[in-house]
Structure 1
Amino acid sequence: MPKMTFIERNGQPREVDAPIGLSVLEVAHKHGVDIEGACEGSLACSTCHVIVDPEWFAKLTTPSEDEEDMLDLAFGLEKTSRLGCQIVMSEALDGLVVRLPAATRNAGG
């Protein structure tokens, strides 16, 4: 089974099983990782904002315009920021590393 690593807000890495077909948000919830996801993946908030490790960022699909709009509202936006609900695990993403931002802002959610 593919794995992924969440870098928690305290800087500690946490490797978890990441079943193919689940979003990063769903994987986080499955393992009790502290990501809110207030809109449950409907692209109506930015509370599942994650910062993708630069080595992995280029391997992701391009964000949609709706995702870009929601990211504009995210706290602590970085060049490799994405919404966890929009990254779906695949074999190609086995080993994915994402960092949780220092805080979230529930704008629009």
Structure 2
Amino acid sequence: MTKLVFIEPTGNRHEITATDGQSVMQAATAQGVVGIDAECGGSCMCATCHCLVIDALNSLPEMQSDEADTLEFTAEDMKENSRLTCQVTVTPELDGIVFQVIGR
């Protein structure tokens, strides 16, 4: 199990454990992280799972073009450390990573 940390829009820190191989979005929604709506169900279309990676950005694989396009055209306030959690797969290398939930 891999530990993931989310800072919810309210400022609440929510630590969860995730199963390797699932998406960060799946883990977050299953464990009640506030602000990750996942309206498209993980299809990389809505950006309602948009987060900022606060710590361990280098632990993530490179962003693919479909994720970059969705963030550019859909997400509000896209930043260099923006990621769609539906496009990030949980791996042991992510243990302890911190995400700031953007929310809508």
The TM-score normalised by the length of structure 1 is 0.87
TM-fit CA distance, 1:77? 1.4
**Identical pairs, percent:** 37
Segments of 5+ residues of structure 2 without an aligned counterpart are: none
- Gap runs ≥5 in structure 1: 105-109
Which structure carries more strand by proportion?
2
- 1:8 matched to 2:8? The reply is yes
Query: 1:15-68, CA deviations, whole angstroms, 9 ceiling, x for partnerless residues?
Result: 111111111110111111121111111112111101111x31121111111100
Match of 2:82 in 1: 81
Distance in structure 2 (CA, Å) of the matches to 1:14 and 1:27: 12
Match of 1:51 in 2: 52
- TM-superposed CA distance for 1:13, in Å, is 1.1
Number of paired residues? 102
Return the alpha-carbon distance in structure 2 between the equivalents of residues 3 and 58 of structure 1. Answer: 16
For residues 1-109 of structure 1, the aligned pairs below 5 Å read: 1-34=1-34, 35-53=36-54, 55-72=55-72, 73-101=74-102, 103-104=103-104
- For normalisation by structure 2, the TM-score amounts to 0.91
